[in-house]
Amino acid sequence: MAKVTFILGLSGSGKTHLSEQLEKQTGARRFTSLLADDRDLIVLMDCLKDGKNCIVDEVRFCLSAYRESIVQSLSHVADLEIHWICFENDLETANWNVIHRTNKGDAEGHLNINLRLHPHYTYPANAEVIPIHRI
């Protein structure tokens, strides 16, 4: 049985850091976005159909409609385990991290994403919710 771990949270919450750690620990294939290209979703589905574990971190998973569309797309994969890891919806800490991090550009764009997503951020019912920490 293949497992996909979806990691969601606001920009600056720690999605990339956690997904990189999990990739190293588990050997799962890591995807940083499913929006860049429809081919990414196809590659993800092919990996899962082949029984490979995958990790996907994506800020838009904060929106239930986006999560539902991805789950619907993956409904064609037999014997799939889906695990959700959510960073808490802490706008202040996430924005502090965006402003103070040095490894990513476009702080203003990430802050704007957070402002748009924060009011609509919901957790899946069976999600593991973890705190955000200042970097």
For residues 2 and 80, the answer to whether their CB atoms sit within 8 Å is yes
Query: Which CATH code fits 2-130?
Result: 3.40.50.300
For residues 44 and 56, the answer to whether their CB atoms sit within 8 Å is yes
Determine if residue 117 is left, alpha or beta; phi over 0 gives left, psi from -120 to 50 gives alpha, anything else beta.
alpha
Q: Where are the domains of the chain?
A: 2-130
pLDDT of residue 128: 97
Residue 13, phi then psi, degrees to nearest 5: -85, -25
Q: Decide: helix, strand or coil at residue 22.
A: helix
For residues 25 and 2, the answer to whether their CB atoms sit within 8 Å is no
Which tens digits make up the pLDDT trace of 36-64?
567 888 899 999 999 999 999 999 999 99
User: Which pTM was predicted?
Assistant: 0.93
Q: In what order do the strands lie in the sheet with 128-130?
A: 29-31, 54-57, 2-8, 80-87, 128-130
Which tens digits make up the pLDDT trace of 75-126?
989 999 999 999 999 999 999 999 998 777 789 999 999 999 999 999 999 9
What average pLDDT score do residues 20-32 get?
95
